[in-house]
Structure 1
Amino acid sequence: MSHTAHIPSHRKPRRGASKTAIRSGVAGGVLSTIALAGAAAPANAEPVTETIEMPTLTAGLAGSVAQSAAATQQVADSLDLRAQEDAAATHAAKVAKKAKAEAQRKAEAKEKAAAAARAKAAEERASRSEERTTLSGSSAPASNSTTQATGSAAAVLAFARAQVGDAYVLGSTGPNSWDCSSLVQAAYRQAGIDLPRTSQPQSTAGTQVSLDNLQVGDILYWGGAGSAYHVGIYSGGGKFIGAQNSGTGVVEKTLDWDPPSGAVRLL
């Protein structure tokens, strides 16, 4: 037996022929593919390079920041508008409060003036009443200079004189303001005579009489009979009582102060 018979061999085992053939075939195929690709490409072709831009976070972040800034500005504008509206409402409330106080002050002043005027008118009426009482027993001729009122005429005249000093208000029917025809109508009601409301029919309600032959209680009119624009009551002594206008109110004046156009008699 050889002295080396029991020493294991350190040589690698040989690969099988089939495995070697397979590996050779694969390598050959790869080399063939590379050769064909090289042959197909132009000799002077440059290597193909392509740059792919990958999306970055910078653009999205900028959009978010811009959107946030716009939203912040919108909120700021809204708050500023609300502040302006609140300021305007506060100013309007102050103006309204001041106007209300001024209106109340004027109303109070007007009421005080009206109360003073009523008190003065009442005092004047009391004075006239006392004067009529003093003169009630006197007699006078039936003429334009002086005429003593009796019966129904006295009632008409007493009522008309009691309203002297009242205000003139177109369309008013008393008790503290009158227009011309409402005063005549109310005065004649004291004698039980119901007259039409306006001056036109009142100017034809009785018998037409001459201005040279007037008696106390006759209705005086200005304008034409049936188309008169103003009426009054003859009070004797060349005077009349009438609600003239808003400037004078109810007054007793002489006929030459505002000469009438005609007269009618009902009493």
Structure 2
Amino acid sequence: MNSTIAVITFRAMLGRRRALLLLALPLMLVVMAVALRITGNDDLDVSANVLQRFGLATLLPLLALIAGTGVIGPEIDDGQIMYVLTKPIPRPVIVLTKLAVAIVLVWAFAAVPTLLSGMILSAGGTEGMGPAFTVGVLVGGVAYSAVFVALAVVSRNAVTIGLLYALVWETLLGNFAPGAKSASIQQWALSVTDTLTGATAVKSTVDLAVAVPLLVAVTVAGTLLAAVRLRSLSVASAE
């Protein structure tokens, strides 16, 4: 970790425009939970559906995409990353610092609102579903962040590719193709949630014994890929 890089990255990510993007989706989730609670439509099945469909399946990947690509992608696009690369800072340290910032942002803007929404809904006091989804968001946020940071380093079209993965592969194809559903960070995170709650409305297609190693493997692979690619950017610049 490099504190200077972390501070600069936090400042850039929490600027007015990006802060609005980071706040919009969590606010919608909390408002939805409040509305359901006020109208009495907050039974266990509805609560599970809201926390899974909007919290875990929509809010989490989109926020991770914004944070993961935002912490390093703009610097690569405008060439500012080369200023950082000229400093005597190991490339893995740069990547780990950027990844740590992305994870903190995802936890703050996705996990906290998920927990709050779960407490507002009946899920907060039933089968521990609110805290269970929060843990799922926490672990899923780490993996998503690693993937999207790696995408931002590898491709200038990281946002487009990330949207295709999150919305097409995990959401659209995942509803029709069992293979696509099982090979998704969303389902791996849902497996953790499923283990932590006894609610029958929460069901993952992947066993925990498979989901956890896959979450770890994707996180490590994404981090290593970003570090290797960042090193090649430095070499290309020197040439």
Tell me if TM exceeds 0.5. no
TM-score range relative to shorter protein: under 0.3
Higher RCO structure (Cα 8 Å, ≥6 apart): 2
Q: Normalized against structure 1, the TM-score is what?
A: 0.25
Please identify which structure carries the higher helix content: 2
TM-score by length of 2: 0.27
Whose Rg is larger?
1
